[in-house]
Structure 1
Amino acid sequence: MPHNLVSEMNAEEISIPVPWGHISDIPGHGCSSHFSPGFRITLESYVTAIKRVVDHLQWKQFKCIGHSMGGMIASFFASIYPEYIERLVMIDCAGPMSIYPEDTIQFMRTLCDNLLMVESKTMNRSPPSYTYEQAVNRILTKRPSKLTRHSADILIKRSLIKNSDGKYSFSTDQRLKVDYNQGFTPMQQMVLIHSIKCPVLYLLAAENMFQKLPGNKLTRKMYKSNRNIQIVKVNGNHDVHLNHPERIADLINTFLFSECSKL
């Protein structure tokens, strides 16, 4: 549930009424286990994982919020299973993306080569270890979108595993460095986006890091052409929800809980 908190306040993990009593991450992220080895992770992999959880909890309908990759997965889920999503909030995401048919062979070859490269680098090797400060510094310097130190501390809490020597390793599945898009054609992409039937709030960061991606303008036009989708630009970068939650909390609350969802 979004809260209108200033960035200086301490972030606490949200308690949810489920047997395990805490937030679960999607596979390969945070405290969750990884997908089985040996294959590329795709959007479909995540939609299937989420559907398993939905079926287990016997949810008939629910509201969904996703940031970046999470927003892409959520929109893909809403396309394939539109009857399940009551309302959808997407925070600064870019897809699902498409490729032109003439680029298919190179796209597929690059995916295969990148997966094999990641596997060769990680197979039978222990992940690098860092002190906490070193790990935070990697987040601050390597992440494409600039984080505040406070935001980095929040984000990294669910991204580290403490080793026996007192140092830390990142828990993220390294296969996520390989593109998880599935090579849809623009026509397939249009069908997917227009299959979203629920009201959607698409919060687009003013300092959007996807602007230079091939096909980004086309994707944005497709979202604009779906009348169920409201696109609202917010001041900030890709991590505005962490750096400045007060800029989006009221927008999300209004959208999720008002009768008409008019902003």
Structure 2
Amino acid sequence: MSVPFEEIRLSLPHIEVAAHLYGPERGQPVIALHGWLDNAATFSRLAPLLDGVRIVALDLPGHGHSDHRPPGAAYNIWDYAHDVLQTAEQFGWKRFSLLGHSMGAIVSVLLAGAMPDRIERLALIDGAIPYTGEADTAPQKLGESLQALLEVDDKRKPVYDSFEQAIAARMKGVGAVSHEAAESLALRGLMPVPGGYTWRTDARLMLPSPMRLTRAHALAFVHRVACPASLVLAEQGLMTQPAMLELIETFPFARNRLPGGHHLHLDDQPGAEAVAAIFNPFFAA
């Protein structure tokens, strides 16, 4: 799969990040955000199919070719909203749209709810709100996170004997993907080490969250979104539970269900084309 894009690095005030640029320079500004443990390559099928948009597909900090956060810093999901805003500032974009998959979709909703004056449109793929937790579980969750932080330096990321072995492992990971999708993510996400290959991702990304938003917190962000929003749900994705589908019905988003798994926009060309068929008129409206 060969796709035209420009590889760039951005020196943000607090961190350096990598990204892929797609589309015409004067196109509608869009920042694309990938899912947890993925990278900018997740949009390699979809981005070329979207018309009239200038897409900055980020490697979020700790992922792909972007820098890891400094020692002592955390990977709280709301921290990514700051990374996105600083990226927009680099391009001089006061208003822009967001294209988000999974965790990237969640970050998009949080930012759109927090700063509705900055966000033009939300295009979301199989993601909307984070895992939530209520007040009574907060002390235990924080304790688990602190203990994990004490132990993280003693943990080593897996080393795979071959590139193909790493691809096979990614195919079975969270949000299982096709071989071709896993290969695209691996080409950007793996690095050679003694004994084989390992992932570039920061090991701290696998640590438990120190604090979760409550359900009420999460829904407050959803209902403060002021821009048009379009949510694509994968029929074999991660948002298929009846209670979740019932909750999503209350969101002020346009909703479309498409066949495919959690990475339907990357797994194969028909999936990417189906998602593009929804988002092209949405961005053009």
Q: Report how far residue 205 of structure 1 moved.
A: 0.9
Tell me the alpha carbon deviations over residues 25-44 of structure 1, each in whole angstroms, 9 at most, x when there is no partner.
11111111111122431012
Taking a change above 3 Å as real, the CA distance of residues 180 and 234 of structure 1, as seen in their structure-2 partners, is farther
Q: Report how far residue 63 of structure 1 moved.
A: 1.5
Does residue 217 of the first structure (1) align with residue 253 of the second (2)?
Answer: no
In the alignment, the residues of structure 2 paired with residue 119 and residue 94 of structure 1 have an alpha-carbon distance, to the nearest angstrom, of: 32
Q: Report how far residue 112 of structure 1 moved.
A: 2.2
Q: Report how far residue 127 of structure 1 moved.
A: 6.3
Contact 1:205 1:236 in 2 (8 A): yes
In the alignment, the residues of structure 1 paired with residue 167 and residue 84 of structure 2 have an alpha-carbon distance, to the nearest angstrom, of: 29
In the alignment, the residues of structure 2 paired with residue 248 and residue 160 of structure 1 have an alpha-carbon distance, to the nearest angstrom, of: 27
Taking a change above 3 Å as real, the CA distance of residues 107 and 21 of structure 1, as seen in their structure-2 partners, is closer
In the alignment, the residues of structure 2 paired with residue 153 and residue 136 of structure 1 have an alpha-carbon distance, to the nearest angstrom, of: 6
Does residue 252 of the first structure (1) align with residue 243 of the second (2)?
Answer: no
Contact 1:40 1:180 in 2 (8 A): no
Pairs within 5 Å for 1:19-38: 22-23=20-21, 24-38=58-72
The residue that corresponds to 1:236 in the other structure is 260
The amino acid of 1:251's aligned partner reads I
Does residue 206 of the first structure (1) align with residue 235 of the second (2)?
Answer: yes
The amino acid of 1:37's aligned partner reads P
* Greater relative contact order (CA < 8 Å, ≥ 6 in sequence): 1
Question: Which runs of at least 4 in structure 1 moved beyond 4 Å after TM superposition?
Answer: 16-21, 220-223
Taking a change above 3 Å as real, the CA distance of residues 53 and 250 of structure 1, as seen in their structure-2 partners, is same
The residue that corresponds to 2:190 in the other structure is 160
Does residue 52 of the first structure (1) align with residue 80 of the second (2)?
Answer: no
Pairs within 5 Å for 1:55-94: 55-94=89-128
Does residue 145 of the first structure (1) align with residue 171 of the second (2)?
Answer: no
Q: Which moves more between the two structures, 19-28 or 248-257?
A: 19-28
The residue that corresponds to 2:216 in the other structure is 187
Secondary structure in structure 2 of the residue aligned to 1:66: strand
Q: Report how far residue 147 of structure 1 moved.
A: 1.9
Taking a change above 3 Å as real, the CA distance of residues 194 and 149 of structure 1, as seen in their structure-2 partners, is same
Contact 1:193 1:222 in 2 (8 A): no
Taking a change above 3 Å as real, the CA distance of residues 60 and 34 of structure 1, as seen in their structure-2 partners, is same
Does residue 173 of the first structure (1) align with residue 198 of the second (2)?
Answer: no
Contact 2:230 2:282 in 1 (8 A): yes
Q: Which moves more between the two structures, 68-77 or 129-138?
A: 129-138
In the alignment, the residues of structure 2 paired with residue 67 and residue 254 of structure 1 have an alpha-carbon distance, to the nearest angstrom, of: 19
Q: Report how far residue 13 of structure 1 moved.
A: 4.9
In the alignment, the residues of structure 2 paired with residue 146 and residue 155 of structure 1 have an alpha-carbon distance, to the nearest angstrom, of: 12
TM-score by length of 1: 0.80
In the alignment, the residues of structure 2 paired with residue 58 and residue 181 of structure 1 have an alpha-carbon distance, to the nearest angstrom, of: 34
Secondary structure in structure 1 of the residue aligned to 2:234: strand
In the alignment, the residues of structure 1 paired with residue 158 and residue 150 of structure 2 have an alpha-carbon distance, to the nearest angstrom, of: 17
Secondary structure in structure 1 of the residue aligned to 2:63: coil
Contact 1:40 1:178 in 2 (8 A): no
The alignment's C-alpha RMSD in Å is 2.7
The amino acid of 2:175's aligned partner reads S
The amino acid of 2:226's aligned partner reads K
Q: Report how far residue 246 of structure 1 moved.
A: 2.0
In the alignment, the residues of structure 2 paired with residue 51 and residue 84 of structure 1 have an alpha-carbon distance, to the nearest angstrom, of: 9
Taking a change above 3 Å as real, the CA distance of residues 180 and 203 of structure 1, as seen in their structure-2 partners, is farther
Q: Report how far residue 18 of structure 1 moved.
A: 8.8
Query: Gaps (5+ residues) in structure 1?
Result: 1-9
Identity of aligned residues (%): 26
